[in-house]
Amino acid sequence: MVIDLDKCTGCGACMVSCMSENNVPFKEDESDKKLSITWMRVYKLTNGKSFPEAEIVYLPRPCQHCGGIGDHGHSPCVSVCPATATDYGYDTGIVSQIYTRCFGCRYCMGACPYHARHFNWWDPKWPEGMENYLSPNVSPRMRGVVEKCSFCYHRYQLAREQAIVEDREIEEKEYQTACTTACPAGAIVFGDLNNPAHKVHQIVKPDPHPDPMNHKVVGKSRNPKVFRLLERLGTNPKVYYMSDREWVRKAGDNYLKGEWENVKTHHGASSSHG
Amino acid sequence: MSELENKANDGPEDGAHHGTDNGPKDDKGLGLGVIFFMGAFLVCFLSGWLLFPKLLYSKKEQPFNFDHKLHAEETGDCETCHFFREDGTFSGIPGLQACMECHTDEPMGESEDEAVFVEEYVAKGKEVPWLIYAKQPDCVFFSHAAHTVAGGMDCKTCHGHIGESSSSRPYEENRITGYSRDIWGKNIWGIKKNSWDRMKMDDCAECHLEKMGHKGYCFQCHK
Amino acid sequence: MKIDRRSFLGLGLGAAAGVALSPVGVKLTDDSSIWTQNWPWTPVPEDGKITYDRSVCSLCPGACGISVKKINGRPVKIEGLDDYPINNGGACPHGISGLQYLYDPARIKTPLKKNGNKFEKISWDEAISLVAQKLGEIRKSGTPESLGLITGADSGSMAQLFERFMDAFGSPNTYNMPSLESNLALTAAALHGADRNLGFDLDHSDFILSFGAAIIEGWGSPVACIQANASRRERKAKLVQVDYRLSNTANAADKIIAVKPGTEADLALGICAVLLAKNLIAGDVNTSAFAAMLAKEYTPEKVEAITGVKAADMEALAMEFIKAKAPVAVPGKGRGDVGQSLREFAAVQALNALADRLNKKGGVFVMYPADYLSFSENVMDDAAKQGASKAKLAGSVNELVDKLEKDGGLSALFIYNANPCYALNNPEKVKVAMDKVGFKVSFSSFMDETALRSDVVLPASIFLERLEDVVSGGGLAKTVVGLCRPMVKPIFDTKHPGDALILLAQAMGDSIAQSFSWNSYDACLEQVTGKIWDTLSGDGYVVIDDKPPVGTPATDFTFLASAPKAAVPMGEGDYTLVPVDKMRLAVGSMISSPFAVKIISDKVLSGKYSVVEINPATAGILKDGDIAVLKTAMGKALVKIGFNEGIMPGVIGMPRGLGHAFNNPYVAGKGVNVNDLIGPVIEPGSGLDAAFGIKATLSKA
């Protein structure tokens, strides 16, 4: 997935679409954002300057579906789950979350550097009658279970069924996440990062080799405008961000003095690198 | 238990008298214990095998008998009622609308079962509350397309010879889990002879491992 | 032989071993683990056939096409409709949460009658006869003009049906709630001629000069505007935002022109003055009196003093505007509905006229309203003709509130698609005014602040349960009529408001019944959409027009030449309190859904407190996060302080859309209704409430 931060208006349509698609509950009081379950969350960042140099960026953050160090499938959350309730799918690169296996130890929540996981402290409760809009494609959860963005995997399952019955491959437009289709500004682009025909690959141009400057990192973008959150950790997320603005790209990590200069000019290796 | 009581009465003296004899009293004491042991063991073991399933499963009947053999002959195949929709999803057990494509307010045959169907369901427009043998939990996503189309599997492999049955077998419901006995399998040990005897996750995994070399990723079958 | 401890031990061990080696252990363990994953209190949604149905969202004037995913006919998801010409597949957070409005148990489920302080349920037959009886009495007393209507519907068949009823009944007293649509219509009428409206061709403009318009935060047709903004980079189109704070639109703009709040019109006039002085205007625009006024009152120095924009900067902006290939100036602070003045809208439109942007691609279209409805002649008896030709009680809904509060004047009131007891400034006064009306009938779907004060509620089905035409509006350059279609049968005992009106008219008999001789609203719609019905019902929409209208309309600058005065924030205080529009907070008659309320930032709603933005430079002793008392001439409220470098010093920005007061813990009882703190300032001539803000004080709580 690649999200164009210059197009994002912060409207929150992605957040609502995700909640509606995935049977995410809502409480009477959602003002404590630590407890509010929003698989997709739009953060507001500023450049720290005063008016009139002040600038804002809205950053939508779904689960990053990390590939882990070296992109070998050891996502931080997958590595710590004692119940294998979460697992890395090598076929799709999507990190699954199976609610019936999770017993709510929340170790994964601690491990995730992106705060992408949410815990059901209470049983989800829908006002009488509202359960009618729940989708059968996603399992409703009980209390004590962790949930997170699944890249709308159920849509992939359904798209595959149609493709199988028609004896063909899935087309790019057939599997799109709820947030992607909702975004009125078209800021989110979703597809197969490894497929050169897909738009997301054409924008991101991920480098399949490990970054020579940091071997933990694989799939770094060759597009100078594209970056990933906390890239140097080596989580190797599937979600890329794009911005013309340098301060936004710099906001993708915590840089100590002098560190940004190195990163700024070093993008995914060109094909001449090994 | 009377058998055991007899054994106890006829058996050697118990080994309660420690102090006096140094003979085979221990053997005698142990012997009784052993016999009790063996007896209890046998009873419990056999109960587990024979009595337990009777207690665990409650027998229910389908709302009325459904003759698969007859319908298969009438329609010629399984797909008329159990078909893939245009979007690739499987229609599963036909709803009332599907049955009413042929069945109307007038019975087509003379069976009492059809009479029940027509009176209670067709006339009232009520869906038939079939008890589904193969019902999986909500967390399961099963793609019929992936298995019967892409995998080329036959219905029988998982569902058995249901298409050739003239009557609906009783639905045995596990009192603890609420699922059909068909999931764990008729054999209380969970040992299966045919592929359609069981439908637990490890059965899926077993077949996946055999056919695809890999048990499968969680999201392939769960949601 | 004695059965002693050893035998029991043997028995026990045997039993244990037997059980352990029997299938019981394994089976029970497996069964128990399955049992723990059975969560019978958790809903298991029913699966079934997936279908997609198309409709048009009617929550806001945006009129976006939506696609509703259904499982066995049960709606489960709303998304934008890909091939709909207004939103092209996009959707906003409110439209997507539409199903929450559909199934909300807080909906009014049956007609209601006020009995003392409580509502009691009645049947539709009772409700209709009760209202028909009361209205019949009014007619008999010879004062049919004492029936009033406050409506939020600016266009479409429902708006015309209500007008038809009022005509047939014999009352001229129809009042529209303030909206961007009606403000633009008023502007077009003042400058170009009656019965016209304005549409802004943002998609093709290469230089958008927005005077405070929240283009990516809900102005106009929100999704269409967001898409027009998103395509700017590829089109190399520039956006300049005139604003007093760093709104999201200002942030997205290429340049921000900081002005003092409420002085946007002055800047527009200043730019007009520059263009006239440099003779860069379109040749055939008659401007003499206007030009003279501008030369005198709007010199660059004067404008600088008023707005805070340096003279040189204003001149540079004027030059950039006129030199662009396809510039357009956009009026309407925030969402452009309330707190606006004709002066401001006219000033911005004057700029468009002088720059020769009328009916040009990428400019502003002076459009005739979509003329696709043809109703048969209304049947008006003598009483109706007499009553309808009388003078209206007031010129606008705000003036109506004034009049009612002072002297009364209406004996009955219909409220349709409006929530004046919340959405107008000084709601307390509105409530007093409404209490002076003897009989109030609300057509609301939810028990909002206005419905609470009604005498009878004839609950309307919501848009997902209705067949209805939905016309584009709100400043959109193209004219599209969409067909909103029912996705389900009404969940509760509600009716299409059209059906309710038809039943009511028929119950009243005589000429009124004759005017409403349809069997149902659905039949009426098919009839009155005549020529376009086939396409409308087949394709789901009809594009009436999407090209610039032919010819350039004349512009009458008389109104502006008279140098109308700006509205002054009333009261006293160090700060100016200004309401701020947020995309995630619905305003007007729409109440935010639980999902929309959930995504409100904790910098906007903190716990139960509205968070007000102030610049730390003028915070005084107040610190970020403090609870403070915000006091204005209208009242006071407890708020939380939120420091924002991006707001002009001396200004308090307070979010609109919070502070609902009715019984729904998910969406009401949170924050403060900013309208409670601001009093209307009626603009002479237009009747608009031009109060863009009010003086305020802040003190630590």
Q: What letters, b where the CB count within 10 A reaches 16 and e where it falls short, cover A57-88?
A: bbbbbbbbbbbbbebebbbbbbbbbeeebbbb
Tell me the CA distances in angstroms from C600 to A32, A38, A146, B3, C222, one per residue in order. Answer: 11, 12, 23, 77, 18
Chain B residues in contact with A165 by the CB 8 A cut-off are 84, 88, 145, 149
Instruction: Name residue A150's beta-bridge partners.
Output: none
The count of CB pairs under 8 A between chains A and C is 187
Q: Which two tokens stand for residue C700?
A: 């630590």
Tell me the CA distances in angstroms from C147 to C165, C384, C432, C628, one per residue in order. Answer: 11, 12, 18, 44
Q: How far is B212 from chain C (nearest CA, A)?
A: 27
Average confidence score pLDDT of chain C: 95
pLDDT band of B14, cuts 50, 70, 90: very low
Chain C residues in contact with A19 by the CB 8 A cut-off are 595, 598
Q: What is the mean pLDDT of residues C108-124?
A: 96
Write down the residue that tokens 């609906």 correspond to: B168
If DSSP codes are grouped into helix, strand and coil, which group holds residue B10?
helix
Q: Cα(C391)–Cα(C409) distance, rounded to whole angstroms?
A: 12
Q: Which two tokens stand for residue C385?
A: 């003709």
The size of chain B, in residues, is: 223
Per DSSP bridges, beta strands C112-115 and C118-121 are antiparallel
Contact B33 C31 (CB under 8 A): no
pLDDT tens-digit readout, A147-174: 999 999 999 999 999 999 999 999 999 9
The DSSP output letter for C63 is: -
Write the DSSP assignment of A228-248 as a string of letters.
-TTGGGT---S-EEE-S-HHH
Nearest in space to C622 (alpha carbons), one of C641, C649, C603 = C641
Burial degree of C184 (CB within 10 A; 0-12, 13-18, 19+): buried
Q: Which of A21, A97, A157 to mutate: most B Cβ within 10 Å? A: A157
Contact B139 A161 (CB under 8 A): no
Chain A residues in contact with C670 by the CB 8 A cut-off are 31
pLDDT tens-digit readout, C459-490: 999 999 999 999 998 899 999 999 999 999 99
Residue B16 in this model has a pLDDT that exceeds 70: no
- pLDDT of amino acid C24: 86
Q: Which two tokens stand for residue C92?
A: 């906003």
Q: Which of C11, C15, C23 sits opposite B189 (nearest CB)?
A: C23
- pLDDT of amino acid B1: 47
Q: Which of A17, A53, A139, A152 to mutate: most C Cβ within 10 Å? A: A17
**Torsion angle defined by CA atoms of residues C455, C456, C457 and C458, in that order, rounded to the nearest 10 degrees:** -160
Rounded to 5 degrees, what are φ and ψ at C251? Answer: -65, -35
**CB interface of A with C, residues 58-87, below 8 Å:** 58
Closest CA in chain A for residue C605: A31
Q: Are C392 and C173 in contact (CB under 8 A)?
A: yes
* Direct distance between the N- and C-terminal alpha carbons of chain A, in angstroms, rounded to an integer: 26
Residues 6+ apart with CB under 8 A from B79: none
Q: How far is C6 from chain B (nearest CA, A)?
A: 5
Q: What is the mean pLDDT of residues A83-103?
A: 95
Contact A160 B149 (CB under 8 A): no
Could you tell me which chains touch chain A, where touching means 3 or more CB pairs under 8 A? B, C
pLDDT band of A270, cuts 50, 70, 90: very low
**Across B15-96, where does the E strand assignment appear?**
57-60
Q: Which two tokens stand for residue B157?
A: 């492999």
Q: Is A35 on the interface with C (CB under 8 A)?
A: no
Q: How far is B85 from chain A (nearest CA, A)?
A: 9
If DSSP codes are grouped into helix, strand and coil, which group holds residue A1?
coil
Q: What is the mean pLDDT of residues B92-102?
A: 89
Contact B137 C37 (CB under 8 A): yes
- pLDDT of amino acid B18: 47
Q: Cα(A173)–Cα(A185) distance, rounded to whole angstroms?
A: 17
User: What proportion of chain C, given as a percentage, has pLDDT over 90?
Assistant: 92
- pLDDT of amino acid A268: 55
Could you tell me which chains touch chain B, where touching means 3 or more CB pairs under 8 A? A, C
Contact B223 A139 (CB under 8 A): yes
Q: Which of A42, A51, A187 sits opposite C246 (nearest CB)?
A: A51
Instruction: Name residue C630's beta-bridge partners.
Output: C637, C698
Q: What is the mean pLDDT of residues A68-80?
A: 95
Lowest mean pLDDT among A89-93, A215-219, A261-265, B53-57: A261-265
Q: Kindly list the domain boundaries of chain A, sorted by start residue.
A: 2-150+179-266
Q: Is A42 on the interface with B (CB under 8 A)?
A: no
The 10 Å Cβ neighbour count of residue B218 is 22
Contact B143 A157 (CB under 8 A): yes
Per the omega criterion (within 30 degrees of 0), is the bond before C61 cis?
A: no
Nearest in space to C539 (alpha carbons), one of C64, C70, C83 = C83
pLDDT band of B189, cuts 50, 70, 90: confident
Chain A residues in contact with B89 by the CB 8 A cut-off are 158, 161
Q: Is A162 on the interface with C (CB under 8 A)?
A: no
Chain B residues in contact with A174 by the CB 8 A cut-off are none
- pLDDT of amino acid A267: 64
CATH fold for domain A2-150+179-266 = Alpha-Beta Plaits (3.30.70)
Residues 6+ apart with CB under 8 A from A174: A159, A162, A163
Q: Cα(B136)–Cα(B147) distance, rounded to whole angstroms?
A: 16
Q: If residue C36 lies in a helix (H) or strand (E), which one and from where to where?
A: helix C23-37
Q: What is the mean pLDDT of residues B44-54?
A: 84
Q: How far is B34 from chain C (nearest CA, A)?
A: 6
Average confidence score pLDDT of chain B: 84
**CB interface of C with B, residues 18-77, below 8 Å:** 18-19, 21-24, 26-28, 30-32, 34-35, 37-38, 44, 49-50
Rounded to the nearest angstrom, the gap between the alpha carbon of residue C655 and the centroid of all alpha carbons in its chain is 15
Q: Is A135 on the interface with B (CB under 8 A)?
A: no
Q: What is the mean pLDDT of residues C251-264?
A: 95
The 10 Å Cβ neighbour count of residue C160 is 15
Q: Sign of the CA dihedral A31, A34, A35, A39?
A: positive
Q: Is B43 on the interface with C (CB under 8 A)?
A: yes
Burial degree of B210 (CB within 10 A; 0-12, 13-18, 19+): exposed
Chain B residues in contact with C8 by the CB 8 A cut-off are 36
pLDDT tens-digit readout, A2-53: 999 999 999 999 999 999 999 999 999 999 999 999 999 999 999 988 877 8
Rounded to 5 degrees, what are φ and ψ at C294? Answer: -65, -45
Residue C177 in this model has a pLDDT that exceeds 50: yes
Chain C residues in contact with B16 by the CB 8 A cut-off are 2, 4
Residues 6+ apart with CB under 8 A from C490: C461, C465
- pLDDT of amino acid A272: 36
Residue B2 in this model has a pLDDT that exceeds 70: no
Q: Are C694 and C570 in contact (CB under 8 A)?
A: yes
Chain B residues in contact with C14 by the CB 8 A cut-off are 36-42, 44
Q: Cα(C504)–Cα(C266) distance, rounded to whole angstroms?
A: 49
User: What proportion of chain B, given as a percentage, has pLDDT over 70?
Assistant: 86
Q: Which two tokens stand for residue A220?
A: 């770094």
Chain C residues in contact with A11 by the CB 8 A cut-off are 92-93, 216-217, 222, 226, 583-584
- pLDDT of amino acid B215: 87
Closest CA in chain C for residue B42: C18
Q: What is the mean pLDDT of residues A54-73?
A: 95
Q: Cα(B212)–Cα(B216) distance, rounded to whole angstroms?
A: 8
Contact A100 B137 (CB under 8 A): yes
Residue B17 in this model has a pLDDT that exceeds 50: no
Q: Which of B137, B145, B218 sits opposite A165 (nearest CB)?
A: B145
Q: What is the mean pLDDT of residues C450-460?
A: 97
Q: How far is C4 from chain A (nearest CA, A)?
A: 46
- pLDDT of amino acid C437: 96
- pLDDT of amino acid B208: 92
Q: How far is A36 from chain B (nearest CA, A)?
A: 22
pLDDT band of B31, cuts 50, 70, 90: low
Q: Is C621 on the interface with B (CB under 8 A)?
A: no
Chain C residues in contact with B14 by the CB 8 A cut-off are 1-4, 6-7
Q: Is A32 on the interface with B (CB under 8 A)?
A: no
Lowest mean pLDDT among A184-193, B17-26, C263-272, C527-536: B17-26
Q: What letters, b where the CB count within 10 A reaches 16 and e where it falls short, cover A220-246?
A: bbebebbbbbebbbbbbbbbbbbbeee
- pLDDT of amino acid A273: 35
Closest CA in chain C for residue B177: C35
Contact B52 C10 (CB under 8 A): no
Structure ipTM: 0.95
Residue B22 in this model has a pLDDT that exceeds 60: no
Q: Cα(C308)–Cα(A45) distance, rounded to whole angstroms?
A: 28
pLDDT band of C147, cuts 50, 70, 90: very high
Q: What is the mean pLDDT of residues C548-557?
A: 92
Closest CA in chain C for residue B89: C49
Q: Cα(C597)–Cα(C613) distance, rounded to whole angstroms?
A: 19
Residues 6+ apart with CB under 8 A from B157: B195, B196
Q: Cα(A86)–Cα(A76) distance, rounded to whole angstroms?
A: 11
Chain B residues in contact with C36 by the CB 8 A cut-off are none
Contact C7 B137 (CB under 8 A): no
Closest CA in chain C for residue A58: C248
Q: How far is B84 from chain A (nearest CA, A)?
A: 8
**CB interface of B with C, residues 127-156, below 8 Å:** 137-139
Could you tell me which chains touch chain C, where touching means 3 or more CB pairs under 8 A? A, B
- pLDDT of amino acid C284: 66
